[in-house]
């Protein structure tokens, strides 16, 4: 059996690959906790450590380049650990013949995004492969940050009664990249939501501390995958109101035309929070005070459910199960 594109789509096959190959080989207590984000303890200090590979194609879309994405992705990952992002490494795999001008533009984006997020890129590596052995350039970044004292966020913290909040419209980045590839001849003026969220998340953690139970950036596999991951880790169920989920009209239409569910499309500039119901109103107000959170919305609540299902109550007054993204979003005629 060979690797196919579905393994990389962030849904079920990605999880099966992780469990059956990587986790089995590397099995350890820290990896078991959450996989793509690790919390390391040095005495009373907790350090968050995370890494990501970026293979975005095309390399540039409206509002985002692979450079900006490679820093934003790791910075936002560190934030989901309740940590202040501090230092990044950056490694490059570059194809023979790739224009140096394009490379310097990517690196310029990386340094700009690093400045905005208050991180420094302190180490890295560069490898060149023969023409045809890579798609221009791939960027791999890792990052470390110091976990904020009174914060205790983890995917297994959600409890029945907690509320689910998203900080902005869903499905934007994935849809913009899909359209930018031009395979389906669809054009829209929407830009990617890719942006580092330090100034949105850190003040909230400092203010609300342990009342913030879970923070997640719903990247590959979209909101649908992230909610199901949390439900599994916390062994809870969720009820989500479809009409409360913010989404841009163009993103919804583009996915409708192609027969794809926008809840499975990647995001690069929003966060999902699970918070104690007591702080619901204040937390939402604070989020909306920041321009990056002006469309924030409470989309549902955590319930007890031993089958750990995420149920979506539809705007039509119906109900359906929201499952993890299954694989590649592909256009269909039926």
Residues near other proteins (CB under 8 A) are 2-6, 12-13, 16, 179, 183-188, 243, 248-250, 252-254, 256-259, 261, 311-321, 323, 326-328, 330-334
Where b means 16+ CB within 10 Å and e means fewer, 41-74 reads eeeeebbbbbbbebebeebbbebbbbbbbbbbbb
* Choice between 9 and 75, CB closer to other proteins: 9
Burial of 190 (0-12, 13-18, 19+ CB in 10 A): buried
Closer by beta carbon to other proteins, 188 or else 290: 188
Which of 154, 135, 261 has the alpha carbon at shortest distance from 216? 154
Q: Smallest distance from the beta carbon of 239 to other proteins, in angstroms?
A: 12
Count of beta carbons in the 10 Å neighbourhood of residue 106: 23
Q: Rank residues 2 and 130 by Cβ distance to other proteins and give the closer one.
A: 2
| Number of other CB atoms surrounding residue 90 within 10 Å | 23
Q: How far is the CB of 258 from other proteins (least distance, A)?
A: 6
Q: Which two tokens stand for residue 151?
A: 């914060």
Nearer to other proteins, 17 or 38 (CB): 17
Measured from the CB of residue 323, what is the shortest distance to other proteins in angstroms? 5
- How far apart, in whole angstroms, are the C-alpha atoms of residue 255 and residue 330? 10
Distance CA 231, CA 222 (A): 15
CB 128, min distance to other proteins, A: 24
Cβ atoms within 10 Å, residue 185: 6
- CB 331 → other proteins: shortest distance, Å? 4
Question: Closer to other proteins at the Cβ: 81 or 312?
Answer: 312
């Amino acid at each position: 059996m060979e690797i196919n594109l579905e393994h990389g789509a962030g849904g079920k096959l990605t999880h099966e690959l992780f469990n059956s190959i990587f986790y089995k080989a590397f099995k350890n207590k820290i990896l078991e906790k959450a996989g793509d984000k690790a919390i390391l303890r040095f005495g009373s200090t907790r350090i968050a450590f995370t890494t990501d590979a970026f293979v975005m194609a095309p390399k540039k879309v409206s509002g985002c380049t692979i450079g900006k994405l490679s820093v934003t992705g790791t910075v936002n990952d560190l934030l989901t650990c309740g940590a202040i992002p501090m230092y990044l490494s950056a490694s490059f795999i570059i194809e023979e013949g790739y224009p140096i001008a394009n490379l310097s533009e990517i690196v310029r984006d990386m340094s700009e995004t690093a400045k905005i997020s208050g991180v420094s890129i302190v180490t890295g590596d560069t490898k060149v492969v023969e023409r045809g052995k890579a798609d221009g350039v791939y960027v791999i970044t890792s990052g470390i940050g110091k976990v904020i004292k009174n914060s205790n966020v983890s995917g297994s913290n959600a409890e029945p009664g907690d509320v689910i909040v998203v900080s902005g419209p869903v499905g934007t980045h994935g849809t913009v990249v899909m359209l930018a590839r031009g395979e389906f001849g669809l054009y829209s003026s929407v830009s990617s939501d890719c942006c580092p969220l330090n100034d949105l998340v850190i003040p909230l953690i400092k203010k609300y501390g342990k009342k913030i139970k879970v923070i997640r950036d719903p990247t590959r596999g979209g909101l649908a995958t992230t909610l199901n991951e949390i439900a599994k880790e916390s062994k809870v169920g969720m009820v989500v109101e479809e009409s409360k989920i913010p989404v841009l009209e163009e993103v919804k239409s583009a996915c409708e035309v192609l027969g794809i569910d926008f809840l499975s499309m990647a995001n690069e500039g929003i966060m999902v929070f699970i918070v104690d119901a007591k702080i619901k109103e204040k937390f939402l107000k604070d989020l909306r005070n920041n321009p990056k959170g002006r469309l924030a919305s409470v989309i549902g609540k955590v319930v007890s459910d031993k089958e750990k299902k995420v149920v979506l109550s539809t705007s039509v007054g119906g109900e359906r199960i929201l499952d993890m993204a299954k694989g590649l979003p592909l256009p269909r005629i039926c």
